[in-house]
């Protein structure tokens, strides 16, 4: 699987975890030069508190386009250390 935005591969892995229709990529599959920390968080009742990263490519910023669960609840333990994408980031095989 690949996560692409503005023709740049943000993440690539053969070992994603699918949860609620989203592919979660292992942290070591991300090209971290494209990511910037964000203060944004959200809460899922069964997964826990999500944190976000903004994506930056060639000066363009896609705010909070990646999310992850730093300490997911036990029911979502399989996505610990994994990132998912939205906001026009294309995820495909």
Q: What is the pLDDT of residue 14?
A: 97
Per residue in 42-89, pLDDT tens?
999 999 999 999 999 999 999 999 999 999 999 999 999 999 999 999
CB neighbourhood size of 10 (10 A): 28
Confidence of residue 91 (pLDDT cuts 50, 70, 90): very high
Q: What is the pLDDT of residue 49?
A: 98
**What separation in angstroms does the CA of 88 have from each of 35, 48, 82?**
15, 24, 19
Q: Which of these CATH numbers, 2.170.150.40, 3.30.420.10, 2.30.31.70, 1.20.1740.10, describes 2-92?
A: 2.170.150.40
């Amino acid at each position: 699987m690949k996560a692409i935005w503005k023709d740049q591969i943000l993440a690539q892995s053969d070992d994603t975890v699918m949860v609620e229709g989203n592919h979660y990529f292992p942290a070591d599959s991300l090209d971290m030069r494209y990511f910037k920390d964000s203060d944004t968080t959200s809460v899922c009742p069964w997964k826990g508190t999500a944190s976000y990263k903004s994506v930056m490519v060639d000066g363009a910023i896609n705010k909070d386009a990646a999310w992850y669960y730093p300490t997911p609840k036990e029911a979502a333990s399989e996505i610990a250390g994994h990132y998912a994408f939205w906001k026009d980031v294309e995820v495909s095989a």
